[in-house]
Amino acid sequence: MRDSNTLDSTRLQRLQQTPLWDFALTLYATPGVEAACLKLQDEAGLDVCEVLFHCWLYSCGLEAEPKALASQREQRCLWQCQVTEVLRGLRQDLKASASESESVKALRETIKQAELMAERENIQRWQAWAWASSSDEQRVVNVVEKSPDAAKWLLNQLLLDQGSHQAEDGTKEKNEWLCSLQTLTCQLDPHQGAR
């Protein structure tokens, strides 16, 4: 259920006081989260930046408005495909030869840093998009009530308006994804400071 009323000012203020990059680094460093994110990326084809973005919103008692989310998701997906994934592929391709050559090892480390910068840029674009929410185009809305299963809530957010294979995958795969998402969502306290 979505709240059609104006955003709760406390929730929006908390969102604006919590930089997404800082939130993402803290959450990602929590035991089990990195492995869960990589599993979601590799096996479910989910964008880790978007996963962290939805976790950030949820921790502030907010969620993305589906219609507004669709175009932003498309832009962020293009960035990931054209920039981040290219760098990741180069880094992975150099892994074997990096063990045999110090210069290739140094090059691989430089590419790894560029990949991290690309991820940070993507995260910052997600943040800017959410912060630019206005009454003309409301991009984020209040989560009206805390979901009894935050992992299912997060999966639904990630699969909103996606016509990809993810929506058609079997129950076994979704249960595995939910297990990974549970690792993330158990770290979140929705509506904290926004009651």
How many independent structural domains does the chain possess? 1
On whether residue 63 sits in a domain, the answer given is: yes
Contact call for residues 108 and 94 (beta carbons, < 8 A): yes
On whether residue 1 sits in a domain, the answer given is: no
Beta strands per DSSP E along 10-100: 62-64
Chain-centroid distance, C-alpha 89: 20
On whether residue 51 sits in a domain, the answer given is: yes
On whether residue 120 sits in a domain, the answer given is: yes
On whether residue 118 sits in a domain, the answer given is: yes
> Residue by residue, what is the 3-state secondary structure of 105-154?
HHHHHHHHHHHHHHHHHHHHHHHHHHHCCCCCCCCEEEECCCCCCHHHHH
Say whether pLDDT at 5 is over 70. Answer: no
Mean pLDDT of the chain: 85
The whole-model pTM stands at 0.84
Query: Could you tell me the residue range of the domain that residue 83 belongs to?
Result: 9-185
Question: At residue 39, what is the residue type?
Answer: K
Question: At residue 128, what is the residue type?
Answer: A
Cα end-to-end span (Å), the chain = 18
On whether residue 56 sits in a domain, the answer given is: yes
Q: What percent of the chain has pLDDT over 90?
A: 50
34-69 pLDDT, tens digit per residue, is 999 999 998 888 999 999 999 999 998 899 988 889
132-181 pLDDT, tens digit per residue, is 876 667 888 888 666 678 888 888 888 876 554 444 446 777 788 888 89
Per-residue pLDDT, 87: 97
Per-residue pLDDT, 56: 94
75-120 pLDDT, tens digit per residue, is 999 999 999 999 999 999 999 999 999 999 999 999 999 999 999 9
